[in-house]
Structure 1
Amino acid sequence: MNLAFSGPDGIIILTLYAVVMLLIGYLAGRGQKGLHKSLSGYYLAGKNLGIIALFFTLYATQYSGNTIVGYAPTAYRDGFSWLQSIPFMTIIIAMYLMFAPRLYVISKRQNFVTPTDWITYRFQSKAVTLLAIFLMLWGLGNYLLEQLVAIGHAVAGMTGGTIPYEWAVIAFVFVMLTYEWLGGMKAVAFTDVMQGLVLMVGVVVLLAGALYLVECDFTDVTRYIAEREPAKAAAPDLETSVNWMSMLILVGFGAAIYPHAVQRIYSAESERTLKRSFARMAWMPPVTTGLVFLVGIIGIMLFPGLDEQGSEQLVGMMANQVASINLVFYWVMVLFFGAIVAAIISTADSVLLSFSSMLSNDVYGKYINPHASEERKVRFGKIGGIIAVAILLWIAWNPPATLYEIFVLKFELLVQVAPAFFLGLYWTRLSAKPVFWGMLVGAVFSGFMTLTGNDTVLGVHGGVIGLFINVLICVVGSYMTSVSTQSRRQMDEKLSMEI
């Protein structure tokens, strides 16, 4: 990504962002007695996040810097069919609202820390819990790898190669680990507020600058595309439409049960705060993904004829043009690209914190040393997180797949945990054995399709087919399992909405 403002200005802004993030980590941890001795305090901010912090940390969980630099080029290549990116993000909110309020109430009553605390509580099965831990850690590991690769490319691009890819990753991973160690979830949430605000403003200014550059309104842009590249303005064919619906299911159910997203549900100070945050999140798909889509569409007119590799540089190319308008646009673009880097880091820190919490509470606390103190568990999680990052850094030097392929593989497996939440929270008859076999068969089937290169069948993703098989096994298997009246009564009490 060649930026006109790369080099000294980029280094200054990135250094400023790094200093601010470290300062936030320090302030978040200062005066918090027992922060590093409590799982809830360190990993969930004491379950006391207010509406502003909760909204922005949910926003950062759903939207990464990759949303900006990745979705606009896709809109450039695919044209208007990439409108699907807006309902992608909208359906996630709908999925949250289907289970989050009920899960929050139960988590408050039972003092959950990680997503698999719910799995353990609901199914009382070691096999189900271990399989869920594996699938969730797999999803988190893939997601973190994706962010580490993106950090390296973004920083190297913004500094004009002055900071090489490898050193960029190491430097900002160090910054991330430092402020996360200092302030835990509270530090992560407050850095999310900072980068979220700058990212929103930057996207609006980038779009305004792009419209200024084309010297026409969006109607003229649409007419230009219809005349010059009609395929990008045409209605999608049947298989593409089916693929849309498949992706909506995959992303909707998969992203809603991201472990770091579930932990933000636990972190809300009240059910009312949680619902108000989601109500505001419902406006974000058109405000964020929608504007990024428009940027990509305008890019077709501004930079016609780019090949796939060239289109990947679209946001940087457009930012260069916008930055050249005047000094105000220049510095907004500098801040904007700094915010993209910060947003990627912010997503990475959320993933790492969740990964660390599952190592400390689920792996170490439940199976390695059940009698360990919470302080010891937190320490294990921190060290385990560093080891995991070190392994992923080694992989990141030579990324094994494109970011999109990593993205798809992540959801294909993670989505198999969804029935344990969406069915388990409402259907008292759902039994542990069918859930285990449903998850296992669905994951194996989805993984096999992905690894053999057969990602879709008639436009339907392997993960969605695996999820269908998974749900079928859960439902049929649970009906075939006898459940006593007493067990049903106990399950009703478990799933009650009383705190």
Structure 2
Amino acid sequence: MDLAFSGWAGVLILLVYGLIMLGVGLFTYLKNKNIHQSMDEYYLGGRGLGVIVLFFTLFATQYSGNTVVGYPPSAYRQGYEYLVSVPFFIMIIVAYLLFAPRLYSLGKKYQLVTPAEWFEKRYHSKSITILASLLMLYGLGNYLLEQLIAIGQGVSGLTGGTIPYQVGVVFFVIIMLIYGWLGGMRSVAYTDTMQGIALLFGVFMLLIGSIIYFGGLPTSADYMQAYSPEKLGIPDGPSVINWFSLLVLIGIGASVYPHAIQRIFSAESERTLKRSFSRMAWMPFLTAGVVFIIGIIGISAFPQLSTAESEQLVGMMASVVANQNIIFYWSMVLLFGGVIAAIVSTADSVLLTFSSIVSNDLYGNYINPKTSQYKKLLVGKLVGVVAVGILILIAWFPPGTLYQIFVLKFELLIQIAPGLILGLYWKRLHPKAVFTGMLAGTIVASLMTILGPSFLGVASGLWGLLLNVIICLIGSLMMNVSMVQENEANQLIEL
């Protein structure tokens, strides 16, 4: 983001956002001093998030600052083909509705804290729980790396280089660790609400300014027709296949994000959860749709940008809009302050879930089962700090564009979906089939991703998922399930 118009105004707004985050963490800690004694309180906000807070924390989980910063450049490079980004988010909501209400009810019934706990409760298998936990930790670590890179780019851009990339990463990571350590899920949810409002306001102001000062979609269409007609055309057969491939990959993959599932467990009631999802159904159009239009307008506003240059598109457009008048100026400063706050809040949410899986599912279950909840929480926090330190070293020299990093994690994370979702409904699903399918799908997706073959334009993660599902279904039908096991499964998933 090249927001050189901001300079010290950007520094000021970042300091304000940072102080607000710290204040939220301190307020939450003082209001709930037992927060560090209870896994439910720290990781799930006491299972008491209401409709508005739950909606905004779900919104922040699904639409991080990456949506505003990373999606318009992709639309710029691909043209109208990237309209698929809107159905991406619709598919996530559809996938949620397949299992979220039922998982919430079972989570409340059995007091589940993490999605890995569901695997342990459902299958009574150490191998399944550990493999699922490792896949989730991989996805979370990948997502956290993406957020750290976005923080550095955002801070450097918003301050016009006054605060360097690396300094911005370290500064906000320290703030994130402090307020997350103090307030847990409640701190994250409250800051999600703050940044969500700022983000929505700023994005719409950028859209309005872009239409006024760059000419809107008609101007962009005229330019593309003259100079880049390929960006106007309908996708060919392989592109359509790739569209549907990504729809399934991201739709299912994002819905089984571990930190998203923890928000399902955090809802005050099933009615609260459903009401929040009903509001989320509009967000693909109001968020992904809006940033897609901004990216398309950018094609004529800043023509012929290289891939690296196009990654700065939103900042370049905001810089022009901000220089028009004082209202747009402060709107853009607030927008990018909100973007960075959103990224920090998303990163903290991911880190919180990362810590919960380590402390509750790995350390608490298999390393030191007799330990106290306080000790589990402490171990999770310390491991989280170490993980962030390692990822900062990687983020110091970013490995690729935000979109490439965004897609990579779904290839493996999606392999937990059959065991998670099918296990909610099918009592004959056999533990050995689940483990074998998950492991085989992971190996296939990993090899295809590393070696690079792409069959029929379908994402490697989906080939792994297909094998995973086939093994789960056929394996479960072929393996004998004892009457006792079937009755246990039936009682477990019965509401």
Normalised-by-shorter TM-score class? over 0.9
Look up the match of 1:421: 420
CA RMSD, Structure 1 to Structure 2 (Å): 1.2
Please tell me whether the aligned partners of residues 91 and 252 of structure 1 are also in contact (alpha carbons under 8 angstroms).
yes
Question: Partners of 1:76 and 1:390 in 2: how far apart?
Answer: 34
- How far is the alpha carbon of 1:401 from its aligned partner? 4.0
Please tell me whether the aligned partners of residues 154 and 340 of structure 2 are also in contact (alpha carbons under 8 angstroms).
yes
Look up the match of 1:332: 331
Q: 1:332 to 1:402 in 2, by over 3 A?
A: closer
- How far is the alpha carbon of 1:158 from its aligned partner? 1.4
- How far is the alpha carbon of 1:29 from its aligned partner? 1.7
Worse overlay, 324-333 or 219-228:
219-228
Look up the match of 1:39: 39
Look up the match of 1:371: 370
Corresponding letter in the other structure for 1:334: V
Look up the match of 2:107: 107
Q: 1:77 to 1:159 in 2, by over 3 A?
A: same
Look up the match of 2:492: 494
Worse overlay, 218-227 or 386-395:
218-227
Corresponding letter in the other structure for 2:46: G
Question: Partners of 1:21 and 1:393 in 2: how far apart?
Answer: 20
SS in 1 for 2:33: coil
1:17-51: per-residue Cα shift (whole Å, max 9, x none)?
00011111111221213110000100000000000
Question: Partners of 1:85 and 1:442 in 2: how far apart?
Answer: 26
SS in 2 for 1:482: coil
User: Is residue 2:127 matched to residue 1:165?
Assistant: no
Corresponding letter in the other structure for 2:2: N
Look up the match of 2:128: 128
- How far is the alpha carbon of 1:405 from its aligned partner? 3.3
Look up the match of 2:455: 457
- How far is the alpha carbon of 1:134 from its aligned partner? 0.6
Corresponding letter in the other structure for 2:111: N
Question: Partners of 2:164 and 2:324 in 1: how far apart?
Answer: 29
Question: Partners of 1:50 and 1:406 in 2: how far apart?
Answer: 32
Look up the match of 2:150: 150
1:351-395: per-residue Cα shift (whole Å, max 9, x none)?
000001111101110011100111111111111111111111122
Look up the match of 1:321: 320
Look up the match of 2:62: 62
- How far is the alpha carbon of 1:162 from its aligned partner? 1.9
- How far is the alpha carbon of 1:309 from its aligned partner? 2.0
Question: Partners of 1:24 and 1:236 in 2: how far apart?
Answer: 47
- Percent identity over paired residues: 55
Structural mapping, 1:74-89, within 5 Å: 74-89=74-89
Worse overlay, 400-409 or 76-85:
400-409
Q: TM-score, normalised by structure 1?
A: 0.97
Q: 1:378 to 1:107 in 2, by over 3 A?
A: same
Look up the match of 1:484: 482
Please tell me whether the aligned partners of residues 25 and 180 of structure 2 are also in contact (alpha carbons under 8 angstroms).
yes
SS in 1 for 2:423: coil
Look up the match of 1:472: 470
1:323-365: per-residue Cα shift (whole Å, max 9, x none)?
0111110010011111111111111000000001111101110
Question: Partners of 1:365 and 1:203 in 2: how far apart?
Answer: 43
Question: Partners of 1:346 and 1:403 in 2: how far apart?
Answer: 17
Please tell me whether the aligned partners of residues 322 and 332 of structure 2 are also in contact (alpha carbons under 8 angstroms).
yes
- How far is the alpha carbon of 1:491 from its aligned partner? 1.5
Please tell me whether the aligned partners of residues 74 and 403 of structure 2 are also in contact (alpha carbons under 8 angstroms).
no
Question: Partners of 1:134 and 1:120 in 2: how far apart?
Answer: 14
- How far is the alpha carbon of 1:421 from its aligned partner? 1.5
Question: Partners of 2:35 and 2:361 in 1: how far apart?
Answer: 19
Please tell me whether the aligned partners of residues 319 and 333 of structure 1 are also in contact (alpha carbons under 8 angstroms).
yes
Look up the match of 2:184: 184
Please tell me whether the aligned partners of residues 133 and 362 of structure 1 are also in contact (alpha carbons under 8 angstroms).
yes
Please tell me whether the aligned partners of residues 86 and 289 of structure 1 are also in contact (alpha carbons under 8 angstroms).
yes
Look up the match of 2:263: 264
Question: Partners of 2:398 and 2:232 in 1: how far apart?
Answer: 34
SS in 2 for 1:428: coil
Please tell me whether the aligned partners of residues 181 and 382 of structure 1 are also in contact (alpha carbons under 8 angstroms).
yes
SS in 2 for 1:169: helix
User: Is residue 2:38 matched to residue 1:19?
Assistant: no
Structural mapping, 1:247-262, within 5 Å: 247-262=246-261
Q: Which runs of 5+ in 2 are unaligned?
A: none
Q: TM-score, normalised by structure 2?
A: 0.98
- How far is the alpha carbon of 1:127 from its aligned partner? 0.6
Please tell me whether the aligned partners of residues 75 and 82 of structure 2 are also in contact (alpha carbons under 8 angstroms).
yes
Question: Partners of 2:31 and 2:65 in 1: how far apart?
Answer: 32
SS in 1 for 2:370: coil
SS in 1 for 2:345: helix
Look up the match of 1:228: 227
Question: Partners of 1:218 and 1:254 in 2: how far apart?
Answer: 32
1:152-183: per-residue Cα shift (whole Å, max 9, x none)?
11111211222222211111000001110111
Please tell me whether the aligned partners of residues 5 and 334 of structure 1 are also in contact (alpha carbons under 8 angstroms).
no
Corresponding letter in the other structure for 1:294: I
SS in 2 for 1:371: coil
Question: Partners of 2:400 and 2:209 in 1: how far apart?
Answer: 34
Please tell me whether the aligned partners of residues 409 and 447 of structure 1 are also in contact (alpha carbons under 8 angstroms).
no
Look up the match of 1:174: 174
- How far is the alpha carbon of 1:458 from its aligned partner? 1.9
Give the paired residue count: 495
Look up the match of 2:406: 407
- How far is the alpha carbon of 1:220 from its aligned partner? 4.5
Please tell me whether the aligned partners of residues 437 and 472 of structure 2 are also in contact (alpha carbons under 8 angstroms).
yes
SS in 2 for 1:425: helix
Worse overlay, 279-288 or 142-151:
142-151
Look up the match of 1:285: 284
- How far is the alpha carbon of 1:5 from its aligned partner? 2.4
- How far is the alpha carbon of 1:303 from its aligned partner? 1.5
